Amino acid sequence: MGKVREYILREIEKYGTIHMTLLDPDKVDVETFVKLGKQAENAGSSAIMVGGSLGVNERLLDEYLSELKREVSIPVILFPGNLSSISSKADALWFIVVLNSSNIYYIIDAQMQASVILYKSYRNLETMPLAYLIVGDGGAVGFVSNARVIPYSRPEIIIAYVLAARYLEFPFLYLEAGSGAKMPVPPEIVRKSREVYNGTLIVGGGIREPEIAYEIARSGADIIVTGTVVEREPEKLRKIVEAVHRGGNDKKRRNM
């Protein structure tokens, strides 16, 4: 087990549920990117995820991450949207399989190609296997990854995929509603997912209010990811992180 994964598990043990901030280098200049990263760390985020569905490449990442790493001490984890979204400047990389993609490229072909690149050029970069399930609105990532996005009205299908992640022994599972989603993953679906999945459960997309973050954490999420809130309303981020930790503590007490 790598250092970043060990760190994540320790943080979850400490808080019950932790928060990660997702930043997209394609949306802001490098100065703003670093500023947002510092705000995320100061607000209590346990890590910064870096990636985007479009427009991110290795040269851009190297520049942005070099500047960011000078200013923050929390781990920086790549959240790649394509094969060029890899950088040696990061601490780790989510190695993603889109479970409900209709395109085999996002299920195994991209991973096969990335594996060769990682082995030849980035062997020291920690990788963490991540089952990625796109639900609700799906957003841009659902479109780009050719996902058969699962509506919230069909929770039984969502849970069937969650079970697949369990039996494939993925250590991390991400329920993704899509960046800027109108509706986040409902707490009831999070709760049902937690009942059948025994790995680290991540939830993101459309979480813009502390009350929603609290309910999702309390329902069983181990990690909550927000992105646009730090870009549009940075003053609200601290309140969301505090709500995540409260929900995580309530989750721990309930499971004792």
Q: Is it the case that residue 139 has pLDDT exceeding 90?
A: no
Termini Cα distance of the chain: 26
pLDDT of residue 53: 58
- Label residue 202 by pLDDT band (50, 70, 90): very high
Domains of the chain listed by start with CATH number? 3-247 (3.20.20.390)
pLDDT of residue 20: 98
Q: Is it the case that residue 129 has pLDDT exceeding 90?
A: yes
- Label residue 161 by pLDDT band (50, 70, 90): very high
List, as one string, the DSSP characters of 95-141: EEEETTBSSGGGTTHHHHHHHHHHHHH-TTSEEEEEEEEEBTT-HHH
Q: Is it the case that residue 14 has pLDDT exceeding 90?
A: yes
CA-nearest of 1, 4, 76 to 36 is: 76
Report the share of the chain in percent with pLDDT over 90.
81
pLDDT of residue 75: 98
Report pLDDT digits (tens) over 58-97: 788 999 999 999 999 999 999 998 888 899 999 999 999 9
pLDDT of residue 230: 74
pLDDT: is 179 or 197 the higher one? 197
**Coil, helix or strand for 241?**
helix
Contact 101, 107 (CB under 8 A): yes
Handedness of CA 61, 178, 174, 36 (dihedral sign): positive
